[in-house]
Structure 1
């Protein structure tokens, strides 16, 4: 029996990457864009409540944390330099404000990066790692 007999026509159809990624960044189901992707801060739902898409096998591991650190680190590096050159605040003020901004930014960005990676995996039929 060939492997092709196990796939339905829906499995063979190409999946659009851009809409899936946009839905993932919105923390919605990559397929329908309606159901919630996460049921707590970083836990992926087992299935979409709207379309029934099985998400139980999706795993993102360290990818979201890596992307979050990469993005926040670069933005904060430029912001630190600009703030220091422009305003010359006291070092403790600069350190405290930049640390607070970095922590809040990372906490807001982390679930969205998880949504992005799960949506990309779904669009590319990776089904986790």
Structure 2
């Protein structure tokens, strides 16, 4: 089990807000999902946290279970003509997913900061490490 280096909840909440997990002041992203190399406020190295596919998986899991599954309980969703319901549902799903993805990626980076994970730790999980 990984040892927590920094307090977990403050770091995750700072990341969810799109802020540096170390200081909570600087912006975490310089574009939509592009993580800044360094925090503009505290100069913390933000590029060292590998948030590869984890945030996308968590986003799909949450959106699928919290948005799509409850919608199926409403008869209007599955009784309406597909010409109307499918574009509306897919459009809504796309917007919710894209909005949630940046926050979840920020929270993921905050979690990695709190656990003390680094980019070089990711090589431990590749096929080359077995050689």
Normalised to the residue count of structure 1, the TM-score between the two structures is: 0.82
List per-residue Cα deviations over 1:16-56 (Å, max 9, x = no partner): 11011100000000011110001111111111111111112
Q: 1:115 offset after TM fit, Å?
A: 0.5
Larger-Rg structure: 1
Q: What is the SS of the residue equivalent to 1:46? A: coil
Long gaps (5+) in structure 2? 123-131
| 1:101 Cα deviation after fit | 0.8
Q: Distance in 1 between matches of 2:32 and 2:77?
A: 36
CA distance 1:98–1:47, change in 2 (3 Å): same
Q: Hey, what's the Cα distance between the residues in 2 that align with 1:98 and 1:41? A: 23
How many residues are matched? 117
Higher relative contact order (CA 8 A, sep 6+): 2
Please name the residue that 2:57 is paired with.
Answer: 66
**Which residue of structure 2 lines up, in the alignment, with residue 109 of structure 1?**
100
Q: State TM-score, norm by structure 2.
A: 0.80
Structure 2 residue matching 1:82: 3-state secondary structure: coil
CA contact (8 A) 1:76 1:98 kept: no
Q: Stretches of 4+ moved more than 4 A in 1?
A: none
Partner of residue 30 from structure 1, selected from 18, 21, 30: 21
RMSD of aligned alpha carbons: 1.9
Alignment partner of 1:50 out of 41, 44, 56: 41
